[in-house]
Amino acid sequence: MGLHSVLDNPYRTLGLLVGTTSREQERQVKRLKQFIEAEQAPEEDFSFPLLGQMVRTADSVSEAISKLNLDNDKISAALFWFYNGNAITDEPAFDAIKEGNLDEVLNIWKKLTSGGDVTQRNASAYSNLGTLYLSDILQGTNSEETLLKLGVTLKLKFLESDFSRDFKTLATDETFKIVKKDLQLNFLHQLQSQIERKGLPPKALLDILNDQEFTAKEDYFRGFIKKPLEQIERAIESAKNDRKKNKKDSLLAGLHLYNTTKPDFNQIKSIVGSNDIRLSSIADKLADEILQCSIDYFNESMDSDSSEDYAEKAITLANKAKSVAIGSIIKDRINDNIATMESMKDSELSMAIELLQSIKDAYNNKKATITAEVKAMPLGFNQTINWDKVNKMIEKSLDWDKVVEFILDVIPAKNIDKIKNTTNTSDLNQYKELVNFVFGKLSFSQINKVKYICYWKTENAVSNAQLTVSSLPDWAKWCLGIAIFLVVVGLIWGEDGIATVFGFAAIFGMLFLIGWMRGQ
């Protein structure tokens, strides 16, 4: 672990234990300066070289003295150093540290702290062993997190006991007043600062403290969540400004807000719990801004007729807001907006289906009307209904050129990407069935104009789908029939009959032309 508060402690620099008298401190400082001036190593003291290398200079000694002038500074340093509270057990433990006999040190202090209760006899063991765990001495015996937990647990148990008053009296002047809660907060704030300097996640300390019971717990947690609360507030305000400045960037602003505040939000949640009013307040405020980013992005994309799949992106962002929200009011608002966006998400597909279905319905109504009228007509003797003619009437009952115009207007090519990317399989299948129905009624040239709506087929497949004899107009069928007839006759009669073939061709051509002109 190697906390700076332990390794660079002013008591260590001076080689003293907590509680040393002013006269003893003056004598020790004088001796240290003499050794430093003579460039000699100081005599053995309580700097405990086993903690790590320490170079003492005249300046570092003077600095250490200045940090022990005021009682508030003294108690801050004392919280992370050793003191002699039980001469029978502590003095042998200090000697063992000097000798590098860690097993002996742990044996002494662990035995005293194994009972669970802090007493006059073992109070110093709790504090001293806690300091030992927070130093570098035991590095490698356990993980940093484990050593931190052991050290913090022992320290808080000691500081929660009534014997912490004796410790305060030993470290400071009798006139100095500090209550148990402030003593604990002093320790925890220093500890938090050291942990942040070492790059350990704040959660490492929070997890430890959540398992402890101590007087300053609520106050510390309140102060601990102040910073993340303020950071979330600033992030919300920043996202709001970005959103209002340029609504096109609302999606990015919402995603950035969600991602950057997630660690702080989870930290607050782990500290105060899901039912805390402070969490629910900031959670609903955060969710509301993320939702507004989603709404603004959706509306802006729809107004600008964006070709992106903006609805799905907006809904995804709204669901992120939902994952943050706690209050029922904001949750209901999010659900309502998601439902609205879901209904509008497939608007292009809905409009396409509505148009194609209306075409099919109009055709079927015309078909039913014509069929009923024909069946109701009285027939003379030996008269029958010419259903080929009736079917042609039905086919021509709608203005298919006008139908094509409607399709071009209501289902423009830019809508096809949104239609084919929908996740609504049922509606998509209905759309495909209706397209196939309409294509079955259109001519080859008409299909070519709107073939893009049949996106699931290749262009050639769509273009060639209706290029059959049945799809040809009557005049084309006549021409095709004549051409086939001429080829067959030519093959049968050979070269000698060529004149006859062309003669017949001319006659039939004239007859066809006259018939066609009458039909027009």
Helix (H, G, I), strand (E, B) or coil at 142: strand
CB-based contacts of 106: which residues, under 8 Å, 6+ apart? Answer: 129
Please, which pLDDT band fits residue 498 given cuts at 50, 70 and 90? low
In this prediction, residue 504 carries a pLDDT of 63
Ranges 249-258, 328-337, 341-350: which has the least confidence:
341-350
On the question of pLDDT at 344 being above 70, the answer is yes
- The mean pLDDT value for 82-103 works out to 94
On the question of pLDDT at 180 being above 60, the answer is yes
> 186, 196, 192, 195: which is closest to 159 by C-alpha?
186
Structure tokens, 216 = 């300053």
Torsion of CA 104, 109, 113, 115, to 10 degrees: 50
pLDDT tens sequence across 26-52: 999 999 999 999 888 887 889 998 888
Please, which pLDDT band fits residue 223 given cuts at 50, 70 and 90? confident
Ranges 79-88, 323-332, 345-354, 500-509: which has the least confidence:
500-509
Contact in structure between 139 and 50 (CB atoms under 8 Å): no
In this prediction, residue 311 carries a pLDDT of 87
- The Cα-based distances of 35 to 14, 17, 40, 42, 65 in angstroms read 12, 20, 5, 6, 17
In this prediction, residue 3 carries a pLDDT of 83
Structure tokens, 511 = 């007859």
In this prediction, residue 270 carries a pLDDT of 79
In this prediction, residue 478 carries a pLDDT of 56
Q: Across 329-452, where does the E strand assignment appear? A: none
CA pair distance 246, 114, nearest whole angstrom: 63
Mean pLDDT (the chain, rounded)? 87
Contact in structure between 203 and 267 (CB atoms under 8 Å): yes
> 205, 319, 322, 203: which is closest to 269 by C-alpha?
203
In this prediction, residue 469 carries a pLDDT of 47
Structure tokens, 19 = 């509680």
In this prediction, residue 508 carries a pLDDT of 64
The residue that leads in pLDDT, 466 or 165, is 165
- The DSSP code for 278 is H
pLDDT tens sequence across 324-340: 999 999 999 999 999 99
- HSE toward the beta carbon, residue 333, CA cutoff 13 A: 17
Structure tokens, 176 = 């100095």
On the question of pLDDT at 85 being above 90, the answer is yes
Q: At what angle do helices 102-113 and 123-133 cross, to 10 degrees?
A: 130
